Structure 1
Amino acid sequence: MTGPTSSPTGSSEKRATETDPARLRERYRVERDRRLRAAGRTYVSPTGPLGHHAADPHADPAFHRPPLRDEVDTLIVGGGFGGLLLAARLRERGARRIRIVDRAADFGGTWYWNRYPGAQCDVESYVYLPLLEETGRLPSEKYCGGEEILEHARAIGRRFDLYRDACFQTEVTELRWDEEERRWTVLTDRDDVVRARYVAVATGPFRELRLPSIPGLSTFRGRVFHTARWDYAYTAAGRPRR
């Protein structure tokens, strides 16, 4: 007996869809619409009357520094594990002129922002945490808690002398490529102008805050905060160490 075979016509149609941008966009549109509520969007951005939800509760609101005017070999956008791992490997190869730019006030990426009580990784620590041998660290448990993961990110920054090259509480606003100079010009919201031979974008998929589309959220007068902006001053118990 022979089993069913795939249709040559069906295979051709599938290949055509995979290589046709218009058909691909339509497929993604259909999938997107399936995930949206009929009455409106499931999530909204923290803008307008909801803008205060995006504020960083861990940063110094009075932080200020003079604008940078320098040139580096590599500028990395993002201080999570992706950016840290790249910067560490560059350091190992002798790179000295590096810039790491992140809107947060420290390294850690998603673990900088998500500090809610009980935050924990769902991937085995020995697989998830990079540069364990290089930093001489051993995870305390199979699935690390968020506080320990954040501290590991900081340990990488210290071990590879990355703090001196970091631009925290800073957001890249524009990248300009100069074909003649073969250099990038990087602009930020702190009026920095940095020229770089290479730019690596390591922002990850979880950098943008999203709020549930709940009617009345913008006018509610009670205390509201997102899990990625946990307010320990309000909840009192369980504040992690800095």
Structure 2
Amino acid sequence: MAAEFAQVQQKYAEEAQKRVKAEGLAQFLELAESDSDRLRHLADDIWADHATLDAQPSPLSPGDCPKFLIAGAGIGGILSAVRLIQQGFTADQIRLVETAGGVGGTWYWNRYPGLHCDVEAYIYVPLLEEMGFMPSHKYASGAEIRKHLEEVVKKYQLEDKMLFRAQMNKAEWNEEAHHWKVDLTTWRGPKGQDEASFSVNAEFVYMTAGLLAKPQIPKVGGVGFAGFKGDNSPNLPASEWGSSAPAPRPSRWCRA
């Protein structure tokens, strides 16, 4: 049995190796760094209500020192905040920093038609008992998960404790003061493009941000994605793709 298991592992390792490219991450281009306006705008937060967010008072100001500072307002960040409250801390002692314009993490960014979670909702969706919530389907829709997370935030009074359109860039421990110095970048304005930076302090820092937060596309030859204009594009000779085959369409990026 052990020998058979080793053979299976070896087979999978060999197959995986066939799909590994030597250029690694260099084969991809982050959309935010593209020279093409048409591609770069795909990294924008189209769900953010910038006017409403700009009108709200900021939960963090330069020099503030919350007890807990949480990076990310997806499931991990929200659940971390709730567990702290359940242990006796107050919402006022907690601040969350989120790059998006709202809560939900991957369920904020991804909203394509028919989107459902591929893990059973009864074990994936958090705080079901605390919220008295029963998912409507075994595999819940993205919209239902996002709505549930928004309700969790309301129940535990975390709505005004979240700094949206902001990113934690650096956290450095100050041994003398016994707290973390955290550098933040924020974005404001009607299109969320007015950038500013400031620092805050925190006794404890939670890192719950996702690993796949930057949308990217593969670097392809020829005119690339930037030059692709659809079927029968004059920039894409049929001979490049094959005269009988339709020109491929770049897929919509996915942010996790």
Match of 1:206 among 212, 218, 223: 212
- Of the three residues 143, 157, 162, the one matched with 1:166 is 162
Q: Kindly provide the CA deviation profile for residues 97-151 of structure 1, in whole angstroms up to 9, marking residues without a partner as x.
A: 1110010111100010011111111100000001011111110010001110111
What's 1:176 paired with?
172
Counterpart in 1 of 2:61? 68
Using a 3 Å threshold, how does the CA distance of structure 1 residues 220 and 37 change in structure 2: closer, same or farther? farther
Residue 195 (structure 1) aligned with residue 201 (structure 2) = yes
Identical-pair percentage: 36
> Which residue matches 1:120?
116
* Cα deviation 1:191-242 (Å, max 9, x = unaligned): 232210010100123322122333421233569783447xxxxxxxxxxxxx
1:105 aligns to what? Answer: 101
Paired with 1:112 and 1:60, the residues of 2 have a C-alpha distance of 13
Alignment of 1:83-162 (within 5 A): 83-96=77-90, 97-162=93-158
Question: Is the Cα contact below 8 Å between 1:116 and 1:228 reproduced in 2?
Answer: no
Moved over 6 A (4+): 222-225
Aligned to 1:11: none
The residue type paired with residue 86 of structure 2 is E
Provide closer, same or farther for how the CA distance between residues 37 and 174 of structure 1 changes in structure 2, counting only shifts above 3 A.
Answer: closer
- Give the C-alpha shift of residue 156 in structure 1: 1.2
Gaps of 5+ in 2: 4-15, 187-196, 231-248
1:217 aligns with 2:225: yes
Letter in 1 for 2:74: G
Kindly state the Cα deviation for residue 37 of structure 1 after the two structures are TM-superposed: 7.5
Inter-partner Cα distance in structure 1 for 2:220 and 2:26:
10
Residue 53 (structure 1) aligned to one of 42, 45, 58: 42
Q: How does 1:37-52 map to 2 (within 5 A)?
A: 42-46=27-31, 47-49=33-35, 50-52=39-41
Is this contact kept in 2: 1:115–1:228, CA < 8 A? no
Q: TM-score, normalised by structure 1?
A: 0.73
CA–CA separation in structure 1 for the residues paired with 2:198 and 2:161? 14
| SS in structure 1 at match of 2:67 | strand
RMSD, aligned α-carbons:
2.8
TM-superposition CA deviations, 1:45-72 (whole Å, max 9, x none): 1113243221110013455466713111
TM-score of the aligned structures, taking structure 2 as reference length: 0.70
Does structure 1 retain, via aligned residues, the 8 Å contact 2:34–2:40? yes
Partner residue in 2 for 1:14: none
> 5+ unaligned residues in a row in structure 1: which ranges?
5-30, 230-242
Question: 2:137 & 2:40 partners in 1: Cα distance?
Answer: 37
| In 2, Cα distance between equivalents of 1:33 and 1:60 | 44
Bigger CA drift: 163-172 or 60-69?
Answer: 60-69
- How far does residue 153 in structure 1 lie from its aligned partner after superposition? 1.2
Tell me how far apart the structure 1 counterparts of residues 49 and 42 of structure 2 sit (CA, whole Å).
16
In 1, are the aligned partners of 2:215 and 2:253 still within 8 Å (CA)?
A: no
